[in-house]
Amino acid sequence: MSDVPAKTQDRLYQDLARNLLEELASGRYPVGARLPAERELAISYAVSRPTVREAIIALEVQGLVEVKVGSGAYVRRLPGKGDLPGFNITAFELTEARLLFEGEAAALAATQATDEELAQIEGLVDAIARENLQADGAERSDREFHLTIARATRNTAIFDAIEHLWDLRSTSPEAALLHEKARTANIKPVVDEHRAVLTALRARDPNAARAAMRAHLAQVIDSLLFATEERAIEDARRTARAKRARYTQATS
Amino acid sequence: MSDVPAKTQDRLYQDLARNLLEELASGRYPVGARLPAERELAISYAVSRPTVREAIIALEVQGLVEVKVGSGAYVRRLPGKGDLPGFNITAFELTEARLLFEGEAAALAATQATDEELAQIEGLVDAIARENLQADGAERSDREFHLTIARATRNTAIFDAIEHLWDLRSTSPEAALLHEKARTANIKPVVDEHRAVLTALRARDPNAARAAMRAHLAQVIDSLLFATEERAIEDARRTARAKRARYTQATS
DNA sequence: CAAGCTAATTGGTAAGACCAAAAAGGATTC
DNA sequence: GAATCCTTTTTGGTCTTACCAATTAGCTTG
């Protein structure tokens, strides 16, 4: 029935955390309110207190609640979209966001990057070229290339936000798959695009850097589109096979 | 001695999580590696197994490790800057990042926002005006204003990243304080700036929206600068008072 | 050598106990 | 009568022990 692989399962604390998350989202516990005591939650949800503690810690790590010793757990902020389970960002949204944000980051980096960082980036461009020859994947250099530019902005918030976007990719299996597919299907131009960004950074030209970065990520979006169509064909084939199977079964 | 209020203290699991985080950052456990068993960690860190579990869950929620039942905890990714404790983003970095990112978001929103969203944003501008009259703080409407625009981009990744930036503010006590100070010192122009953004969105003019949003956040940066200077003066006064107190004590 | 089974390992959860911090309530004092 | 202090209760923090379930390693067996 379900499309998800079900993964590890178990993890009772996650169920509880999900439930509490929904209660927060429902507005039952507004900001500043105190959650029921651990012992009460344990009883009402029919779990042990350690499990309750684990769930509350999960919320605490996400900054949703604050635990005060001897007092209770208080709501710090209400859950946003990113906190809701089953929340998936598409590869297109992700790349569009990167196009805008990393474009600006490149522009800023063009005015801030040190010679050392530029040399580092050049090394990464070479590494990307090498990685593309061997098809074993691992776009680690690609990630480092983009993060190094983000770091070169000298703005930790910008770096953190862009790193956050890269991390989001791995939270969505579909997005990760699509990216991998797009990468293997589109090898040659990538190095040139990366080198164009580097050239613009070297020239200390913010507008050129922004344009080069945007062009690169626009190309990535195109690759994603291509990969999507490929997959659409596969899906159609699979559907046809399933259809035929049902027919065969029904008539046998 | 220390400037921080020490907060809640306790939380043994946080110490452990911090230690494990450092071990991850040190490269001792590369991606894919398995962490020692819970029972082993409990012994080597001289804590109980529930505490170890809590620490591992803290890492798990942050996406750093993946726990497989009956097998162990495996490293999913290495910690980035945002994961490191004691990591503080300055209010300036944060606002600069917002200037760039939210500027682009506003430009995109100008082409995507629905009439309903525009009406919602107008209501928030009015709410901001009302909140400014009563000095009790709570810039909730301000946050909603910016997040609603981010949502109007129809891009979940953009929304999530911008929400992430807002959340970062609360992780840094200094940044939060500075913002509050800047807000109380600078009341009048804010509403006009917000309304200018709304006008540009209404006109479906991306460039005007970007410019208005950037102008607004540039103004915020100015306010922060002003608040910083104010605080510098206060610090100087406090230092002088302390100096005099020591002198008085020594000569009495 | 391969397949299958058994036992050890490892995470998941429960239950009970005790400590320390905080809050609540009552007694004392001014 | 009000404020203050102290005792009691509540609440989170941690440990210990125990048992279950999934996984893995190792051995047995064909």
Predicted confidence (pLDDT) per residue in A180-238, tens digit: 777 666 655 578 899 999 999 999 999 999 999 999 999 988 888 877 766 556 555 55
Binned at pLDDT 50, 70 and 90, residue A177 comes out as confident
pLDDT recorded at residue A83 = 77
Q: By C-alpha distance, which of B93, B248, B27, B63 is closest to A158?
A: B93
Angstroms from A112 CA to nearest CA on chain B: 14
Q: Note whether A44 and A35 are within 8 A (CB).
A: no
CA B50 to C1' D10, in angstroms, rounded, equals: 23
Q: Does any strand C atom come closer than 7 Å to the Cβ of B33?
A: no
- DSSP annotation of A245 reads H
Q: Mutating which of A52, A75, A101, A224 best tests the B interface, going by the most B Cβ atoms within 10 A?
A: A101
pLDDT recorded at residue B252 = 36
Q: By C-alpha distance, which of A195, A217, A23, A30 is closest to A105?
A: A217
Distance of CA B208 to the CA centre of its chain: 27
The phi, psi pair for B5, rounded to 5°, reads -70, 5
Q: By C-alpha distance, which of B214, B211, B202, B217 is closest to B110?
A: B202
Instruction: Report how far apart, in Å, the C-alpha atoms of B206 and of each of B97, B177, B192, B210, B218 are.
Output: 19, 33, 19, 6, 18
CATH of the domain at A231: 1.20.120.530
Binned at pLDDT 50, 70 and 90, residue B119 comes out as very high
Q: What is the pLDDT of residues A116-149, one digit of tens each?
A: 999 999 999 998 888 766 655 557 788 899 999 9
Higher pLDDT, B11 or B2: B11
Residue A213 with chain B: CB contacts under 8 Å: none
Residue B154 covered by a domain: yes
- Closest chain B residue by Cα to residue A71: B8
Angle between helices A49-61 and A12-25 (to 10 degrees): 60
Q: Note whether A12 and A47 are within 8 A (CB).
A: yes
The CA distance from B22 to A82, in Å, is 26
Residue A68 covered by a domain: yes
The CA distance from B40 to A217, in Å, is 46
Answer whether A63 sits within 8 Å of B170, measured CB to CB: yes
Same domain, A203 and A128: yes
Task: Tell how many helices (H) and how many strands (E) occur in chain B.
Answer: 10, 2
Q: Indicate if the pLDDT at residue A95 is higher than 90.
A: yes
Domain C-terminal end among A20, A51, A80: A80
Answer whether A81 sits within 8 Å of B159, measured CB to CB: yes
Answer whether B101 sits within 8 Å of A161, measured CB to CB: yes
Domain C-terminal end among B62, B83, B104: B83
Average pLDDT over residues A17-43: 93
Answer whether A10 sits within 8 Å of B69, measured CB to CB: yes
Residue B217 covered by a domain: yes
Q: Indicate if the pLDDT at residue A69 is higher than 60.
A: yes
pLDDT recorded at residue A244 = 43
Q: What is the mean pLDDT of chain B?
A: 83
Range with lowest mean pLDDT among A127-131, A236-240, B153-157, B199-203: A236-240
The residue type of A79 is: P
Domain containing residue B68: 12-83
Binned at pLDDT 50, 70 and 90, residue B86 comes out as low
Higher pLDDT, A156 or B228: A156
pLDDT recorded at residue A239 = 53
CATH of the domain at B22: 1.10.10.10
Specify the number of domains making up chain A: 2
The CA distance from B168 to A230, in Å, is 39
Same domain, B139 and B199: yes
